[in-house]
Amino acid sequence: MTFKDVVYKNFRYNIKKYLSLFLCNSFTIMVLFMMLDLNYNEEFIQYIKNDISMTSVVWLAILVVSLFAVFFIIYAQTYFIKSRSKEFGLFITVGMSKWELSKLVLIENILIAVLSLIMGLISGSIFTRLFFLVTVKVSKFDKISHHFNIKSYVNTSILFLLIFAVVLLILIIFMNRLEPTEIIKEGRKGDKIVKYTPVILLLGIIFVITAILIVFYTMANSDQNIIPYLPLSIICALIGLYFIIGQVGSGVLHFLKKNKIIYHNHLLFNNEMHHKFNRNKGIVFSCSILIGVTIFGLGIFYAIDKISVWSVDEMYPYNISYSEVLGINNVSTEKINNIINESKTPIVDNMKLPFLLYNTESLITEEKDLSGGYNNVALVSQKELNKCIFNNVVKDFNKDSSLKNIQLKKGEVIIANLSYNRELQDCSVDTTISLENDKNTLKFKIKDIIVDNVYYLKFPISNYIIILNDEDYNEIKNTIDKKYIGEFNMLGFKEWRRTGDTVEKIKAELQNQNSKLPERLKEEYFKYNEHFSLFSNIEIYRNRVEGGNFSNFLAVFISFLFFIASSVIIYFKLYTEMEEEKVKYNKLYRIGMREEEFKNIIYNQLKVIFFSPLIFGGIIAYLYLFTSFKIMNIPIELYVNCSYIFIAYLLFQIIYYFIVSRKYVNNIIDNLSGAYK
């Protein structure tokens, strides 16, 4: 028999195993392609490019799917090799060299890889359009069409082949290091049975508690960045979880032995459960991680989505606003009032906050030069700021704000950020700030500094807002060109969710007016269009709903992948050990065990394997989730809603359990001799 004959006959004999590996690889490639195709769709990228959160979600999804691909392919390949270890041992025993065996594996896997890549790209091309349409529909994105991009095909192929090459190299090295006798035994090797050690169980619990406390204290401290501590917390949680899972099987048996009646009445079942759990603790651990990540990911994405939408009500003290200065956005009050009168919801407040767009060549404190960026600073009167922002529009807005009820003496100022830079962190109160231009220099004493971005004040082409005493403000106002005197218009409505039409009409009127600007001003307007654009709660709300729907959809999609991964892990493990289980139960049948006893033992064992990861993963996930919720002051409603994730996962797992367990038990029962044949 030639080497080609061996390859051909080997392929025919193992067709089912090849098919399993082929389908796993093809599915992984299809998922990778769909995610990369979404990322390389030009219209989609243009749509989300200004939304940092959605862009981050896309990249996070690609990263998670890539890690999923690595994990899934490695596991499928490991299962494939381990399930054929006896066959490889036989080949070596009859004279096949390790090089020839490696060559055989190489030819098989290259063939499977090529076919998987072709099938994955074809199926990806078919389903990616459906995936894209569902994404757009669920996220409520407007006017985005699907286009194929060659980059999706190239990068998917490169990523898969890199993963496959690494996996193949690892497997060849692994096989070359094994001796023939070890290869033959490889299929029968199980996990070491760990004796019950209370100290290890206690250590596991301590590690898990430590992991949660790390998250709790770093999140509770607002000045502390949680990112550097997160890997430590995750490592502690994983170590603790592994220790706990490793001791549960032995621990339960240890306590059962103390009750002689219960232990001896279920002797076979208790020992089988102990053996099965310890042998499969690696599978339970892996599935617990996948389930825990799934539950936590869905819960945190859902909570962040809800909080971001709810917070629109509380974040802004007005519902519509725009700046009017330099002749830009100069729409008459009469036209604005006519639009407001046609609104579907009554107006509550219509306020105007005067400000000065003060041109400055340098903005210098005693410690730092704040020049750079825009050569303007917005000057505001304390009296007008107090009246417009906090007393009329929304009386209870931002109760802890540093801008509330400001009182300044002549010569004193408060300086605040209008951008996301952190230059003001290096400045101190009770120092002098100088505003210089070609005409004069203004000097003031800094009474207070607001480092955080004052996001609800949209003064154009300015890095900072300086709040002045009324007398100082009026003196400066009388000395500057009138075109630099502007107004920040703020409109508050009874039901801002019904202001969509009003927003569109005001935007149209502003655009119409700005189209009539002189060419020089028009260039300025287009250059800084974002600064002069109208702001509205309803647009922020819609953007957050879109972003939330998009992130939740991707979270559900990735969770579905993790569910498939955990299901496949369990399935592969069961069917890898199928032959050994058949031999064992056949022997038990011959000494008189009945069918019902077989079924009870097998079904109970399968329940442990299927549902213990859900318990372990769920506990860890909800410890992290509810600890985060506690620190973030999440409403109790979201605690309850996030609990439904566990119920939904449990229902899917129950369905999967009934499908697999019935088939598994029937395979074992049908193998029994005598009456069961």
Q: Is 203 exposed, middle or buried (0-12, 13-18, 19+ CB in 10 A)?
A: middle
Give 351's contacts (C-beta < 8 A, 6+ positions apart): 318, 387, 388, 392, 393, 489, 490, 491, 492
Among the ranges given (246-255, 373-382, 455-464, 649-658), the one the predictor scored with the smallest mean pLDDT:
246-255
Helix 230-256, helix 267-279: angle, nearest 10: 160
- Decide if pLDDT at 471 tops 70: yes
Q: Considering the entire predicted model, what is its pTM?
A: 0.71
- Segment 323-347 shows an average pLDDT of 84
Per-residue pLDDT of 123-179, as tens digits, reads 888 888 888 888 877 777 767 777 888 888 898 898 888 888 887 777 777 666 666
Give 111's contacts (C-beta < 8 A, 6+ positions apart): none
Residue 395: predicted pLDDT: 35
Hunting for tokens 């299962």 — which residue is that?
79
The length of the chain in residues reads 677
Residue 181: predicted pLDDT: 61
Please say whether the dihedral angle defined by the alpha carbons of residues 142, 146, 150 and 152, taken in this order, is positive or negative: positive
- Decide if pLDDT at 271 tops 70: no
Confidence of residue 255 (pLDDT cuts 50, 70, 90): low
Residue 675: predicted pLDDT: 42
Query: In 97-120, which positions are buried (b, 16+ CB within 10 angstroms) versus exposed (e)?
Result: ebeebbebbeebbeebbeebbebb
Give 234's contacts (C-beta < 8 A, 6+ positions apart): 211
Residue 296: predicted pLDDT: 84
Alpha-carbon gap, residue 654 to 614, rounded angstroms? 11
For residues 436 and 364, is the Cβ–Cβ distance under 8 A? yes
Instruction: For 153-174, give the DSSP string.
Output: HHHHHHHHHHHHHHHHHHHHHH
Among the ranges given (28-32, 201-205, 423-427), the one the predictor scored with the smallest mean pLDDT:
423-427
Among the ranges given (172-181, 450-459, 585-594), the one the predictor scored with the smallest mean pLDDT:
172-181
Q: By three-state DSSP, how is residue 359 classified?
A: strand
- Decide if pLDDT at 369 tops 60: no
Confidence of residue 393 (pLDDT cuts 50, 70, 90): very low
Please count the CA atoms within 13 angstroms of the CA of 129 that sit on its side-chain side. 8
Residue 391: predicted pLDDT: 45
- Considering the chain, what is the average pLDDT of its residues? 77
Give 74's contacts (C-beta < 8 A, 6+ positions apart): 167, 170
Q: Is 48 exposed, middle or buried (0-12, 13-18, 19+ CB in 10 A)?
A: buried
Instruction: For 418-430, give the DSSP string.
Output: SSS--GGGG--TT
Number of C-beta neighbours around residue 673 at 10 A: 9
Confidence of residue 330 (pLDDT cuts 50, 70, 90): confident
Alpha-carbon gap, residue 182 to 179, rounded angstroms? 5
Domain regions of the chain by residue span: 1-189, 354-380+390-395+402-485
Residue 674: predicted pLDDT: 47
- Segment 190-203 shows an average pLDDT of 71
Residue 396: predicted pLDDT: 41
Confidence of residue 476 (pLDDT cuts 50, 70, 90): confident
Per-residue pLDDT of 507-533, as tens digits, reads 888 888 888 888 887 777 777 777 788
Q: Which amino acid is it at 544?
A: R
Give CA separation, 429 vs 365, 377, 445, in Å: 10, 19, 8
- Decide if pLDDT at 413 tops 80: yes
Hunting for tokens 């107004």 — which residue is that?
487
- Decide if pLDDT at 362 tops 70: no
For residues 416 and 377, is the Cβ–Cβ distance under 8 A? no
- Decide if pLDDT at 677 tops 80: no
Residue 247: predicted pLDDT: 77
For residues 390 and 404, is the Cβ–Cβ distance under 8 A? yes
Q: By three-state DSSP, how is residue 451 classified?
A: strand
Confidence of residue 620 (pLDDT cuts 50, 70, 90): confident
Residue 397: predicted pLDDT: 43
Residue 37: predicted pLDDT: 85
